[in-house]
Amino acid sequence: MNNSNKNNMTIHLKVWRQASNKEKGKMESYTLSDVSPDMSFLEMLDQLNLKLMKEKIEPVSFDHDCREGICGMCSLMINGHAHGPQLLTTTCQLHMREYKDGDEIVIEPWRSRAFPVVKDLVVDRSAFDKIMAAGGFVSVNTGSAPDANGTAIAKVVADEAMDAAQCIGCGACVAACENGSAMLFVAAKVSQLSLLPQGQPEAASRVKSMVAKMDEMGFGNCTNHSECMAACPKGISVEHIARMNRDFLKSSLLQ
Amino acid sequence: MSSETGDAAPSGPKFSFLILQTSVGRKYLVAITGLLSCGFLLGHLAGNLLLLMGPDSFNSYAHKLTSTSLIYVAEAILGVIFLVHLGLALKLNWENKMARPQKYVKKKTFGPGENIFSSTMPYTGIAILVFLVLHLTQFKFGSVYMTQVEGVEMRDVYRTVIEFFKNIWSLVWYCVAMSLLAMHLAHGVQSSFQSLGIRSKQIGQWLKCGSRIFAFGVPAGFIFLSIWCHLQ
Amino acid sequence: MSSHKLDSKVPSGSIDQKWNQHKFQSKMINPSNKRKYKIIVVGTGLAGSSAAASLAQLGYEVSAFCIQDSPRRAHSIAAQGGINAAKNYQNDGDSVQRLFYDTIKGGDFRAREANVYRLAQVSTSIIDQCVAQGVPFAREYGGTLSNRSFGGAQVSRTFYARGQTGQQLLLGAYSALMRMVGLGKVKLYPRREMTELVLVDGHAKGAVFKNLITGEYESHAADAVILATGGYGNVYYLSTNAMACNTSANWAAYKKGAFFGNPCYTQIHPTCIPVHGENQAKLTLMSESLRNDGRVWVPKKVGDTRPPDQIPAEERDYYLERIYPSFGNLAPRDISSRQAKNMCDEGRGVGSSGLAVYLDFKDAIQRDGKSVVEGKYGNLFDMYQRITAENPYDVPMRIFPAVHYTMGGLWVDYNLMSTIPGLHVLGEANFSDHGANRLGASALMQGLADGYFVIPYTIGNYLAASASKKIETNHEAFKEATEASLIRENKFLNIKGSKGAMEYHKDLGKIMWDSVGMSRSEAGLKKAISDIQKLRHEFHQNVNVPGSAKGFNPELIRAFRVSDFLELGEVMARDALERNESCGGHFRDEFQTEDGEAKRDDENFCHVAAWEFQGVDKAPNRHQEKLEFENVKLSTRSYK
């Protein structure tokens, strides 16, 4: 319960420090003692920052917000794993009990040409928003919707759409992919809307626009290693990529 | 609500430019050319199995194949398929390198599709290209012997093949090349189905299984034949 | 105690006709003129995104601002349980009237009748809109929408998308917003912190924002400003709110003259994961839906430290079932939370801290089987296990109340306009619809109602009447506001003290939780006021803000926010002190019935308290808006 618990650990951190996008970065080493196993990973970084501030060193910038695994704000490549070693877990849900006394933890920002570093571990993921603005929606103005039960949707279809819709837009798929590809992110939205009848009228233009925008943003290409699926904290399947590929082919040939 | 926004919805690029201008389109072409090459491999293997029937059958088959002028068309098409497959794959690979200018200090991989086969695709691909060139010089443009089958003068390709595989080092080289081909196919075939969007929850496992059988079965067939030749 | 400024502008007529009448009587703006009006929307949660998208669809020129890197990350995303709507799809007797009544009663008769009725009326359209956007609500095998009963309701009117309803609704609103961004109808400004509201001739005509990446200040002029900036639960430091949730934009408006309504009304959610240690930064909510199957209990004996499986049934006190036989474990949030606190105060709390009660699924697992329970709550159980390293299938969960939602907020009239003309406030940021306690699955409903279906109609009333004069950012008022922001920022950077803003935040949180939390007393509140004043004084002498004004500096922004919380906390305590009654989430020890239930004073406190800023170290003025109840009878809220 308190700071000087006998279970507390000493952790050696190697953290990417980069003052801004214009400056070069490098790894810095810090040692943090009194790390409680009950702490979350980000609380450990909070503690590091308090320590650094006491030592008049500028604290490490990292993105975080809801700290319950849903907002998608947190990131971090932790010892080579996007969001850390635990499957289906965001960095904010990772706890220090995953580590043991004396462990070394290497922390880096997401690396992608499309996600330039803002500062330290913070990157700019606005490329995702631009992809969404290109077509990740159903064009329905407020007020023009028919009754919600007007169109029946099979439970299995709604469930599968929900599987895809769970994407939190964190960018772990891009970060983990050997090629920095955003296919899983784009496919999750394309697939969700292509499964549902509401998404049908724009299905063809949506997939074409979103793929074109994805390429324009500078992401890499999919080589079907499924690294994205393994890193995805929501476990979104690469089957959605297959569905997007199918939709893209269909829309290219037929519409 | 007014329809201020009603008809301004963005529309995607037109088809004519699309296929080659998008990553997904290029992947289709890599997948399709890859699968077509697999078709060629299958045909090649079927033809080679005639070796087991003896010199006359094999030589007649080879003669029939090469005596029509359609062979030039077929070869040209094959050449284009290989070149498109190779060229696009290299381009995609280059783009992938560019997509991450700053590498990770520490990066682990643990994707279910991540294995020795998938991570070595560019290398096995290049190796297959080298093999292909040598293979053509060794057989198509290799030692020419002549023979007669049922009174028809033709090339004795059978002898060229048997002589080649009599050499243990040639056999070893060939088996290594076929193993690399198997590696390439082990990821490539099933990956093609994913790229073309054919994979789904329902048939995913079947496709994967079938792809693996093909990927290892076809090179194994070639290896079997090469060893058979060696033992003649 | 003048309240001449508090004209609620509730239309006349019968309650079911008020909104229709009001829409008809509202001023219209010609479609081709709408593009001449510029509207700033601050915040992109459910209320902000839906408002920005809907207004842009109407043709207004909209600029949307958010503090995160993307509008999709607003904290609405974390809502788990569901959204209410009076669809009556289940044929179980629901109606607009019933949703209205439940919400008024749930809020302990401290909300404005007309607003709540309107909320119930538009609730049905929200579901239609969301489904049309592709929100994958849960469905029955026949393909129709599924509903569940939620948060003390006796009908099944809650629509849900697994345990991620807020996420799906927000992504729906976000997609509508991004569509308008793609069409060039909304300009999007992420990573912007609003530091000043700009008034010209007393009207809200723009705002100054700090660009969180460059550190520069940016001025934006508009014909109207909408704040949809969420609640202020983080004043308690530990809450279920996201780390970045703050009151700063609202506070900037308050300091410019917007009245703050009912600041003491906060909701403490009963089912959160207990605090684990001093370094904890955030509490995690477990969906209230867990109480549909979980049974809440503590040991009967004080100081019983046996593990739960060794406490036999007859030695367990299923206290919610005992005290509230008709609602049992589904008693409303404020009541469940307070009873949990009572149990712990009696020394019957569990876990190493003694600050927790059990939520036990053993009976549900025995009755329905593990797979059924897993199907319903699997993701929540996983989340619990990840955080606590305990398996809730085997041992009961430990839960404890945590600050979750703030019913108070900037005072708004029926048009959702604050006391500053042109400044509109939506969603959790306003005070309007939940009274003294919010029912489960009502926050999502209110946010989207305000954004999709109320503000698009009511903003015209202001714009048509008053927004003819165009203001540009070269106006003197913008220079002054930017200057004020710069002065404040430099002041923080130059203190160079020894204690981080986070530590002050933690100190403030402790004062707030202990004295302005689940139960409040006159003595405690008075002490809290003076403690907060002292802490605020120390903060301005000794806070350590590293880094510089330029570039990305989260610690500087944290200092801004903590500074505002240190002022807000005092106003909350003052509001709680003045409200000499117990109602909903506001429980004063002095005002309770013999069996410990909240005792309202309808004669003296059936009003909204709206606070007017007078200066940081001066007591604010308290104004009243009398609440008239014409359609429901004020009764004692009983869930027994």
User: Got the DSSP string for C513-533?
Assistant: HHHSSSSB-HHHHHHHHHHHH
Indicate left, alpha or beta for B122 from its phi (over 0: left) and psi (-120 to 50: alpha): alpha
Ranges of H-type helices in chain B: 15-21, 23-48, 55-67, 70-98, 116-119, 121-135, 157-166, 168-195, 204-231
Nearest-CA neighbor of B110 among A94, A231, A234?
Answer: A231
CATH number, span A9-108: 3.10.20.30
Among candidate residues C344, C375, C404, the one where a domain is terminated: C404
Q: What is the mean pLDDT of residues B22-46?
A: 96
* Bigger pLDDT: A175 vs A255: A175
Domain of residue C392, CATH code: 3.90.700.10
- Best mutation target, B11, B16, B17, B23, to test chain A (most A CBs within 10 A): B23
- Positions of C marked active-site: 333
In this prediction, residue A240 has a pLDDT band, given cuts at 50, 70 and 90, of very high
Whether residue C348 is contained in a domain is answered as: yes
Nearest to C58 among B1, B8, B9 (CB): B1
Residue C560 inside a domain? The answer is: yes
pLDDT tens digits, residue range B204-220?
899 999 999 999 999 99
> Could you tell me how many CB contacts below 8 A there are between chain B and chain C?
25
Contacts A235 to B, Cβ<8 Å: none
Q: Is residue C484 part of a domain?
A: no
Closest approach of B131 to chain C, Cα-based (Å): 50
% chain C with pLDDT above 90: 90
pLDDT tens track for C57-107 = 999 999 999 999 999 999 999 998 899 999 999 999 999 999 999 999 999
Best of A22, A68, A87, A124 to mutate (most C CBs within 10 Å, chain C): A68
Question: Would you say residue C378 has pLDDT above 90?
Answer: no
Q: Are C170 and C444 in contact (CB under 8 A)?
A: no
Q: What pLDDT was estimated at residue B17?
A: 57
Is there a domain that residue C168 lies in?
no
Break chain B into its structural domains and give their ranges. 22-98+117-231
Query: What is the C-alpha separation between A54 and C496, in angstroms, rounded?
Result: 11
Helices first, then strands: H and E counts in chain C: 18, 22
Query: Would the pTM of this model clear 0.90, i.e. be above it?
Result: yes
Which of B144, B128, B133, B129 minimizes the C-alpha distance to B178?
B128
Is pLDDT of C210 > 70?
Answer: yes
Q: What is the mean pLDDT of residues C322-338?
A: 90
- List, in order, residues 6 or more apart from A94 with CB less than 8 Å away: A40, A41, A78, A83, A84, A85, A86
Count up the domains in chain C and report the number: 2
Read off the pLDDT of residues A107-158 as tens digits, 9 standing for 90 and up. Answer: 999 999 999 999 999 999 999 999 999 999 999 999 999 999 999 999 999 9
Residue B14 — pLDDT band, cuts 50, 70, 90?
low
Q: Domain ends where: C350, C382, C404? A: C404
Q: Does B11 touch chain C (CB under 8 A)?
A: no
Q: Does A24 touch chain B (CB under 8 A)?
A: no
Both C287 and C387 in one domain: the answer is yes
pLDDT tens digits, C218-258: 999 999 999 999 999 999 999 999 999 999 999 999 999 99
**Which chains have 3+ CB pairs within 8 A of C?**
A, B
Which fold is adopted by the domain A125-254? Fumarate Reductase Iron-sulfur Protein; Chain B, domain 2 (1.10.1060)
Of residues C89, C137, C181, nearest to A133 (C-beta): C181
How high is the pLDDT of residue A187? Answer: 98
Listed residues C404, C435, C462: the one ending a domain: C404
Per-residue tokens: C215: 């550190």
Nearest chain C residue to B7 by CA distance is C183
Contact C402, C281 (CB under 8 A): no
| Per-residue b or e along A157-183, where b marks 16 or more CB atoms closer than 10 Å to that residue's CB | bbebbbbbbbbbbbbbbbbbbbbbbbb
What does the pLDDT look like over B61-99, one tens digit per residue? 999 999 999 999 999 999 999 999 999 999 999 999 999
Distance from CA of C560 to the nearest CA of B (A): 35
- Is C618 found in the same domain as C498? yes
In terms of CA atoms, which chain A residue is nearest residue B189? A224
Report the C-alpha gap between C15 and C13 in whole angstroms.
6
Are C511 and C517 in contact, with CB atoms under 8 Å apart?
A: no
**B2 interfacial to chain C (CB closer than 8 Å):** yes
Asked if B2's CB is within 8 angstroms of C59's CB, the reply is: yes
Task: Report residue C467's pLDDT band, with 50, 70 and 90 as the boundaries.
Answer: low
Domain coverage including residue C542: 489-626
C-alpha A21/C-alpha A123 separation (Å) is 9
The mean pLDDT value of chain C amounts to 95
* DSSP-derived secondary structure letter, A59: P
- C397 and C494 part of one domain: no
Does C4 have pLDDT greater than 80?
Answer: no
Size of interface A-B (CB pairs under 8 A): 182
B1 touches chain C (CB under 8 A): yes
For this complex, say whether ipTM is above 0.90: yes
Q: Which CATH architecture has domain B22-98+117-231?
A: Up-down Bundle (1.20)
Give the pLDDT confidence of C506-533 residue by residue, as tens digits: 999 999 999 999 999 999 999 999 999 9
- Which among B1, B2, B8 has the least Cβ separation from residue C183? B8
In a domain, residue C587? The reply is yes
Q: Where are the domains of chain A?
A: 9-108, 125-254
The arithmetic mean of pLDDT across residues B26-42, rounded, is 96
Report whether pLDDT(B7) > 60: no
Cα of first residue to Cα of last residue in chain B, in angstroms, is 84
Which chain A residue's Cα is nearest to B12? Answer: A209
CB < 8 Å to A153, chain C: 139, 143
* pLDDT (0 to 100) of residue C334: 86
